[in-house]
Amino acid sequence: MAPDAAQRPAATVSWQVNGLRLAGLTWGRPGERPLLALHGWLDNAASFAFLAPLLAGCHVVALDLTGHGQSERRSADASYQIWDDLPEILGVVNTLGWETFDLIGHSRGAIISTLLASAFPERIRRLVLLDAVVPGAVAESEFPRQMRKALQDKERLQTRQNRVFPSVEEAVASREARGLSPVAARTLVERSVRACPGGVTWTTDPRLHGASAVKLSDAHLRAVLAALDMPTLLLLSQQTWAQSQAMSHYAGLHIPHLSVDTVDGEHHFHMEDNVAQVAQRVQQFLIATGE
């Protein structure tokens, strides 16, 4: 039986990697099965605040990816392409002493997880992807247009300031308006705002809204997926299954050892009322294929 969340409270943690301070949350104890958790775009480590306490026997470490939550932003000359997070992620797991570990990611974090697992398949024991696999393929012929958009965005966003809300409650309401439950929205918002003149504002780096300079082609994506030689579980939202069928089909064609399942809920189903169902499915996957 999964433990009550109160029996596995979150602990805060931070690391210094490549000159950047990265923050995170952990559940469980060192010595339990290591599981690294990567959140989605504009979210933070609290994305796993409902799921992680239910994963009995796992030492879950969830990061605030760079420029998110309580982690530092990149320098002015840097970018936020999906592979830019990989050096810091590797720095954290190396600091933890994890030679091999399980990996779970949601949305953008799932895409980053796929890239990491393809580059270092010998280090990832089991891979769990929540509602995403890879970004959409972009033809090589689009490269000049993509580069132009990225350069324009970089200039535009360098001085952009995040929106100011009169109160935390109004910031929470803005996330609710994008489909999150009140509890999930508050859990994410409280880790992603800071006080400022006039109320509160996001801690997230505005440059995360910018276009990537390079988009992966179909050939790139097929190579990435073919390199995933570990058991892989893709969980998809039942409510968005129609839109997810193409993703599931593409993943099934190219990932060697893939299981696909659907769960009730929207895109953030791991933060919704049926989180116990998600936890049970993830734990079954880890145990069924575990050493």
Is the pLDDT at 110 greater than 70? The verdict is yes
What is d(CA 223, CA 200) in angstroms, rounded to the nearest whole number? 43
Average pLDDT for the chain: 94
Answering whether pTM is above 0.85, one says yes
Rounded to whole angstroms, how far apart are CA atoms 126 and 33? 11
Query: CA of 165: how far to CAs of 69, 157, 162, 173, 198, in Å?
Result: 17, 20, 10, 10, 7
pLDDT digit string (tens) for 61-96? Answer: 999 999 999 999 999 999 999 999 999 999 999 999
Cβ count within 10 A of residue 21: 13
**Domain ranges for the chain:** 5-137+217-288
245 confidence band (pLDDT: 50, 70, 90): confident
> Tens digits of per-residue pLDDT, 174-203?
999 998 999 999 999 999 999 999 999 999
Tens digits of per-residue pLDDT, 33-59?
A: 999 999 999 999 999 999 999 999 999
CA 31, distance to chain mean position in Å, is 24
> Which of the following is catalytic: 71, 107, 113, 237?
107
Quick check: is 192 catalytic? no
Task: Identify the CATH number of the domain defined by range 5-137+217-288.
Answer: 3.40.50.1820
Band of residue 3 on the pLDDT scale cut at 50, 70, 90: very low
Degrees, nearest 5: CA angle 202-203-205: 100
pLDDT digits (tens, 9 = 90+) for 112-166: 999 999 999 999 999 999 999 999 999 999 999 999 999 999 999 999 999 999 9
* pLDDT score for 291: 52
